[in-house]
Structure 1
Amino acid sequence: MNADHILDPTDRRLLGLLQNNARSSMTALGKALNLSRTAVQARIGRLERDGVITSYTTVLRPSGQTSLCALISLRIGIRPCASVLKPLLSWPEIVHGYSTAGSTDAVLVVRVDAAQTLSALTDRLAVIPGVEGVETTVVLDTFIDRSGQVGTGV
């Protein structure tokens, strides 16, 4: 994101509307914001150019108990850590990956279909050269999910 870009209240409202329905028409967004369709298009274009809006995506509803979510912490023994983490970009089970400071070097958020698949995934991670430790935590329930939402800045 452009460091010079400050989100004004209208930007925040626009982003909130897009987060609720990214397929909203420019006209509908304009009515909700009391702006013209052209002004909405210009704001969205600026937010895209400035890197505030980086993509549009489809969020699928997890299908009942067929989806298991887990957090996997990795300790990496070589530097830079990116050399170990880069190949993980192509692993479809990994939905988020974070480089971290502290006792672990990376945290992965994974979604798999079953415990056996999770076990196989942790085994695959453990044998990657440079990975010194793998710790898995299974998510039992999600009580807050604000992923992708604009914070209030409070």
Structure 2
Amino acid sequence: MKGRAKIDPIDLRIIELLSKNARMTYKELAEALGTTRQRISRRMEKLERMGVIQKYTVVPNFDLLGYSYVLLGITLKAGVSIDEAIGKLKEVKHVTIIQKALGTHNLVVHVVAPKDMKEIQAIIEEISKAVPGVEHMDVTFITETCKYELF
């Protein structure tokens, strides 16, 4: 049933609350929205079934964990299959997020790597060799996440 979802303001409010704290219980959501836990349960099942809510996750502080967080903006040569490139990127251990993009880059790739610059260089070289038809790759080191809110 994935596709264009019919959601209402209450669904949007649930998503907003969960984007700030994905650990909220159905009871806490119900209290915040002035409804029952059972109604929240039904709405959550609907949102998950429709594909509106795809995943519950955490946002780690990579610096405190001893890792570097790197964004790669990849521009492919004309005619190169983006889906083939994505398939290759999915096989690379340190790649955590792959996003199709419009604009300067065809793909935005998130990489979590050990802080050692030689290891980072090796990972970037592995990615550039694995992906067919890379025309250009921009590398950006994320030094701090100052705001992370979806709504």
Fold equivalence (TM over 0.5): yes
Greater shift, 96-105 or 38-47, is seen at: 96-105
Letter in 1 for 2:51: G
Residue 119 of structure 2 corresponds to: 117
In the alignment, structure 1 segments of 5+ residues that lack a partner are: none
Equivalent-residue separation in structure 2 for 1:4 and 1:22 (angstroms):
21
Give 1:85 deviation, angstroms.
2.0
Give 1:5 deviation, angstroms.
1.3
CA 1:18–1:104 in structure 2 vs 1: closer, same or farther (change >3 Å)? closer
Cα-to-partner distance string for 1:17-52 (whole Å, 9 max, x where unaligned): 323333333223222211111111111111112211
Equivalent-residue separation in structure 2 for 1:83 and 1:65 (angstroms):
32
Is structure 2 residue 23 aligned with structure 1 residue 23? yes
Equivalent-residue separation in structure 1 for 2:36 and 2:102 (angstroms):
45
State the identity %. Answer: 23
In the alignment, structure 2 segments of 5+ residues that lack a partner are: none
Give 1:65 deviation, angstroms.
7.0
CA 1:83–1:13 in structure 2 vs 1: closer, same or farther (change >3 Å)? same
Cα-to-partner distance string for 1:35-94 (whole Å, 9 max, x where unaligned): 111111111111112211112224433352722122212232342221122121132322
Is structure 2 residue 67 aligned with structure 1 residue 67? yes
TM-score normalised to structure 2 length = 0.80
What are the residue-to-residue correspondences of 1:3-152 with 2, within 5 Å?
A: 3-8=4-9, 10-64=10-64, 66-77=66-77, 78-114=79-115, 115-128=117-130, 129-146=132-149, 149=150, 151=151
Q: How many residues align?
A: 147
TM-score normalised to structure 1 length = 0.79
